[in-house]
Structure 1
Amino acid sequence: MTFIPKIAKTLLSAAAIALAAGSTLAATLTVGGKNFTEQLILAELTKQLLESKGYTVDKKDGMGTKIVRAALENGEVDLYWEYTGTSLITFNKVTERLSPEETYNRVKQLDGEKGLVWLAPSAANNTYAYVIRPDNAKTEGMETISDLAKAYNDGKEILMGTTAEFPKRPDGLIGLQEVYGFEAGRANVRPMDLGLAYNALANGDLDTIAAQATDGQIAALKLKALKDDKGFFPNYALTPVVRKEVLDANPDLKGLLEAVSTKLDDATMQRLNSEVDVDKKTIETVAADYLKSLGI
């Protein structure tokens, strides 16, 4: 039996406690993100913000919606920016029509039961929007999604660009076709990167895009958004979501992230997205400049 002096035992105990505390507090925070411009900007912005406050950050962006959510739930990701409508329908399977405030409160409650904390939401509502270009005879005169549905029901070949996820989502094409009573048909749906879809629409290779309302190209390309006249798409308030155990260990995260979320609105996100997609600035530069504008 090895003899360990009392003072050595004390030091070993202190070291063990420090190690345990370190594993709980997590010296490195993992920030997740999805695989489109807005999410890439927010993941980088969050990384720079937290690093400026002394955190070590491991950024894992470019993931699909279900993958990043699963990573948050299993602890591989500590926080990321999610949309209220996505959590409501895709993750919590709620199909009733709710107001923006009701949507936020419902997902906050339901996800809270899973150990996920929704912080203060932004005013940026990145809901889906069908957009068309102004000089296309096939979509001329369209004002609403009902008009688009009628064109499909009349047998017109309207080529639709979407993200890879949109045709499979209940808050995407599946639900939209059911509510509006049409079927686009597989041959008319072209899943692709959204940036490529905008180019294809501008070049005449597509007739419409299932876009996101805060996309910078909508204004840059002078596109027209069709009115969601049946109110299918829910509110998609952009909000930071953090694992509760991470927030408990790092309570200052709430103030840091809400200092950003409460400043974001549709116009701001459209501008930031446009700086990357239209002006071709780097995501790192756009994120740094925006933080600087906030005085962070």
Structure 2
Amino acid sequence: MNRRAAVLVAAAVLASGCGLESSFALPFQVGPGSIRPVPELAGVEIAVGSKDFTENQVLGYVAEVALAAAGAEVRDMTNIQGSNSSRQALLSGDIDLSWDYTGTGWISYLGNTEPIPDERAQFEAVRDADLARNGLRWLEHSAVDNTYAFAVTGSYAREHGLRTTSDMVALIRQDPARGVFCLETEFAGRDDGFPGVAAAYGFDPRATQVKTFGIGTIYTAISTGLCDFGEVFTTDGRIRALDLVVLEDDRNFFPRYNAAVVLRQEFHEAHPEVARVLAPVTAALDNDTIRALNAEVDVDGRDPAAVARDWMVREGFVTVPSG
């Protein structure tokens, strides 16, 4: 466990709402690149939070690096345990901004049961409702969509001409023995999981063979041939590392989970420059990019802060001061 993770695990969000107990500055310095110093942000203290999984930590550090280059005094509050704790930290003012996901906002925070298939419409619905009800401002969403999908090995996809979930269904109808799935226990029984997929795509889930695993184990199970198809998150770094192919959800069954920066409206009004600094960074992110960055952490064992910084340097957003 790295230093930031260890500290923030110890400094968990308190159930009483008293807030987060510790924070750090970035462990390195960055200079301006295409992100230039912003006089209005010089010395402004900005607490950036994240949830406790790899992708959200990387995105948190991406925001920290960008804002540091613009001249803000960044407080690192990444690795907050759980979506609800991260959300509460934002609402209470313990953090000033974090990245969240449109599907999570619409279903988990706002209490809706029916997702909106179109990613733009989903974003706009969350943006408008969360601002009206909770005073939270969602900045423009990215092309990063961390939703569910089925994946197969690259060789299996090429052998059977698989590109979409409909292709998968056609194959298992033709040869039911091919319908071997690796799924999480919860996903296997949820209406918005495997049974719902079966209903939407028109196949009988009872005619398939389901093996249940923890989500982290499923990627290896697919790659080693324990199953033909596996449930994955579309931006997981292990997809790229294990040469897996994500099948397109061509009937748009799964909710859209586009990543976006969220901040309190009062903070946004006080510091509108934050949105302008982060806009080009958000526009540069997509699923291929975030998969590669996630893999640097989960496969290569790199620190998420360093991964975020190095990507920002490669993209020309920031520079690293000599020495």
* Match of residue 238, structure 1, among 259, 280, 284: 259
CA–CA separation in structure 2 for the residues paired with 1:190 and 1:142: 23
Q: 1:67 to 1:149 in 2, by over 3 A?
A: farther
Cα pair distance change 1:80/1:210, threshold 3 Å: farther
Unpaired segments ≥5 residues, structure 2: 1-42, 319-323
Counterpart residue number, 1:111: 130
Distance 1:260 1:54 in 2: 16
Q: Tell me how far 1:247 sits from its aligned partner.
A: 2.1
Matched with 2:57 is 40
Residue 119 (structure 2) aligns with: 100
Structure 2 CA distance for aligned equivalents of residues 203 and 70 of structure 1? 40
| Percentage of identical aligned residues | 30
Q: Distance in 1 between matches of 2:312 and 2:191?
A: 35
Aligned partners of 1:129 and 1:212 also within 8 Å: yes
**How many corresponding residue pairs?**
267
C-alpha change, 1:75 and 1:187, in structure 2 (3 Å) is farther
- CA distance in 1: counterparts of 2:190 and 2:85, whole angstroms: 14
Q: Which amino acid in 1 is paired with 2:257?
A: Y
Q: Deviations over 1:49-98 (max 9, x none)?
A: 33442323132325333443344334444321122233233333152644
2 CA distance for matches of 1:83 and 1:126? 8
Give the Å deviation of 1:287: 0.9
| Cα distance change, pair 173–29 in 1 and its aligned pair in 2 (3 A) | farther
2:74 aligned with 1:56: yes
What are the Cα deviations for residues 191-230 of structure 1, in whole angstroms up to 9, with x where unaligned?
A: 333xx43233323445433222233332332223233243
TM-score (norm 1): 0.72
Cα distance in 2 for residues equivalent to 1:206 and 1:68: 35
Contact kept, 8 Å, 1:30 with 1:76, in 2: the verdict is no
CA–CA distance in structure 1, aligned partners of residues 191 and 76 of structure 2? 32
When residues 180 and 160 of structure 1 are mapped into structure 2, their CA distance, relative to the original with a 3 A threshold, is: same
Distance change (3 Å), C-alpha of 1:166 and 1:51: farther
Distance change (3 Å), C-alpha of 1:87 and 1:174: farther
Please give the alpha-carbon distance, in whole angstroms, between the structure 1 residues aligned to 2:148 and 2:108.
14
1:228 aligns with 249
Q: Deviations 1:23-43 (Å, cap 9, x if unpaired)?
A: xx99451412242x2212112
Structure 1 residue runs of 5 or longer lacking an equivalent are: 1-24
User: For residue 179 of structure 1, what is the aligned residue in structure 2?
Assistant: 200
Are the aligned partners of 1:132 and 1:209 in contact in 2 as well (CA < 8 Å)? yes
Partners of 1:155 and 1:130 lie apart in 2 by 17
1:270 paired residue among 286, 291, 305 = 291
Q: Which residue of 1 aligns with 2:108?
A: 90
Does the 8 Å CA contact 1:90/1:170 hold for their aligned counterparts? no
**Given the two structures, how large is their TM-score scaled by the length of structure 2?**
0.67
